Amino acid sequence: MLALFTVIISFVLTSLVGNRLVQGWQRRNWLAQHTLESAEKNLDELGKIINEILVLGDARYFRTLRVTWYLNSSDTESFCRVKQEYDQAVVNWNDHLNSLKVRLRMYVDYHYTDILEAIQARFCEISTRVDSAIRSRSKQTIPQSSLVELEAKLSAISGQLFNLSRSLLGILLKKQQEAYQGKPILFCKNNLDLFPRWYLFKALFQPPFPMQAVSSTALNFSAPFAFRSQRSWIH
């Protein structure tokens, strides 16, 4: 009778409880894998956004700067080639601008969309002046002071593009770290719902403050030096 009871209990534990645990672990692993794959897709998309801003922004900056260098050039053929490259860079940037702004709002924050719009406003201001200079170059020589001013404004835009790309790259690296290493969450009463029950149960038996660290040399055990890394008081 005892052997039969043992067999029945073993069957129940193995088939019911064991299967339940296995299903729970499999579901948890599936959710973790699905979350990681979703995070990787978002990271890839953010990387593409950063690359587009760098490539298209730098192309418009350099092509605009280059066409200003040729405004007073007598080489008409070279000027026409440089102007054609400049026009194409402007078109490429404008074609992707709305897409960049929408994706920045989706994957990062509105703040960076505002920065991109500010860069676009400065690009438009310079392009207006460059286009006006191109139309009048056949009638008069463009003053050197105007060319220097244009170069200075373009350098400022280049700095804005650099700062924007650097900030976005920092966000990308932070998101990568959170995706692969996890995001630290402060254990407090305001976010107990984020922790599993087993963690909450273990927390009942832990002190409400970090353990005190004590260090001493081998010849001075009678008077150790105690310190705390987070609070100034010592027990």
Fold of 2-180: Four Helix Bundle (Hemerythrin (Met), subunit A) (1.20.120)
Triad 62, 51, 78: Cα angle to 5°: 25
pLDDT in tens, 14-52: 666 667 767 777 777 777 777 778 888 888 999 999 999
- Within 13 Å of residue 26, how many CA atoms lie on the same side as its CB? 6
More confidently predicted of 111 and 4: 111
pLDDT score for 2:
65
Cα distances from 53 to residues 47, 88, 129, 207, in angstroms, run 10, 16, 23, 50
Q: How confident is residue 229, by pLDDT bands cut at 50, 70 and 90?
A: very low
The Cα 52–Cα 164 span in angstroms is 12
Give the tokens for residue 101. 């702004």
What percent of the chain clears pLDDT 70, i.e. is strictly above it? Answer: 78
Q: Write down the H helix ranges in 71-195.
A: 76-107, 110-136, 144-181
Cα-Cα end-to-end distance for the chain = 60
Q: What is the pLDDT of residues 182-216, one digit of tens each?
A: 777 777 777 777 777 777 777 777 766 655 544 44
| Residue 152, pLDDT score | 94
Of the candidates 47, 166, 57, the one whose C-alpha atom is nearest the C-alpha of residue 116 is 57
pLDDT of residue 103: 92
The contacts of residue 220 (CB under 8 Å, 6+ apart) are none
Q: What is the pLDDT of residue 225?
A: 44
Distance of CA 207 to CAs 15, 202, 204, Å? 39, 11, 8
- Which pLDDT belongs to residue 217? 47
> Rounded mean pLDDT of 67-92?
92
Q: Give the closest residue to 141 by CA, choosing from 203, 198, 52, 71.
A: 71
Asked whether the beta carbons of 116 and 100 are under 8 A apart, the reply is yes
What CA–CA distance (Å, rounded) separates 34 from 40? 10
Strand partners, 227: 213
Spatial contact of 82 and 17, defined as CB atoms under 8 Å apart: no
Q: What is the pLDDT of residue 158?
A: 93
What's the pLDDT score for residue 168? 93
Residue range(s) of every CATH 1.20.120 domain in the chain:
2-180
